[in-house]
Amino acid sequence: MKTLTTAAGTPPAAISDPYRPAFHYTAERNWLNDPNGLVYLNGTYHLFYQHNPFGPDWGNMSWGHATSEDLLNWDEQPVAIPCDEHEAIFSGSAVFDEFNTSGFGTAANPPLVAIYTSAYTGASPLAGRQAQSLAYSLDEGLTWTKYHGNPVLDRASAEFRDPKVFWYDGGAGSYWVMVAVEAVQRQVVLYKSDDLKAWKHLSTFGPANATGGVWECPDLFELPVDGDPQDTRWVLIVNLNPGGIAGGSAGQYFLGTFDGVAFRSESTVTAGLQTDGSRMREYGWLDWGRDYYAAVSFSNMPDGRRVMIGWMNNWDYARETPTGDWRSTMSLPREVSLIRVDGKPALRQQAIDPFSGLGPAQLQLGPQALATGVMPLPAASEVARIDVEFRPGTADSVGLLLATADTERTVIRYDVAEGILRLDRRESGNVKFHDAFPSIETVAVPLQDGRLGLRVYLDRCSVEVFAQDGLATVTDLVFPSRAGTALAVFAQGEGAHLVALDVVG
Given the rule CB under 6 A, which residues bind ligand FRU?
Answer: 33-34, 50, 61, 90-91, 117, 161-162, 216-217, 294
Contacts with 275 (C-beta within 8 Å, 6 or more apart), sequence order: none
Are the CB atoms for 301 and 309 separated by under 8 Å? no
CB of 207 to ligand FRU, least distance (A): 16
Nearer to ligand FRU, 60 or 442 (CB): 60
CB of 128 to ligand FRU, least distance (A): 15
CB of 276 to ligand FRU, least distance (A): 25
Name which of 166, 157, 162 is nearest 185 in CA terms.
Answer: 157
Length, in residues, of the chain:
505
Q: How far is residue 37's CA from residue 48's CA, in Å, rounded to a whole number?
A: 5
Q: How far is residue 442's CA from residue 242's CA, in Å, rounded to a whole number?
A: 17
Nearer to ligand FRU, 27 or 395 (CB): 27
Residue type, 119: A
Which of 34, 97, 219, 424 is labelled catalytic?
34
CA distances from 409 to 440, 479, 491 (A): 13, 10, 16
Are the CB atoms for 348 and 472 separated by under 8 Å? no
Are the CB atoms for 34 and 90 separated by under 8 Å? no
Contacts with 169 (C-beta within 8 Å, 6 or more apart), sequence order: none
CB of 162 to ligand FRU, least distance (A): 5
List the Cα angle 32/219/250 in 5-degree steps: 55
Nearer to ligand FRU, 33 or 265 (CB): 33
Residue 363's DSSP bridge partners are 503
CB of 152 to ligand FRU, least distance (A): 17
Are the CB atoms for 91 and 117 separated by under 8 Å? yes
Nearer to ligand FRU, 312 or 398 (CB): 312
Active site residue 424: no
Nearer to ligand FRU, 252 or 410 (CB): 252
Nearer to ligand FRU, 59 or 78 (CB): 59
CA distances from 474 to 150, 224, 332, 399, 457 (A): 40, 24, 12, 14, 11
CB of 217 to ligand FRU, least distance (A): 6
Q: Which residues are catalytic?
A: 34
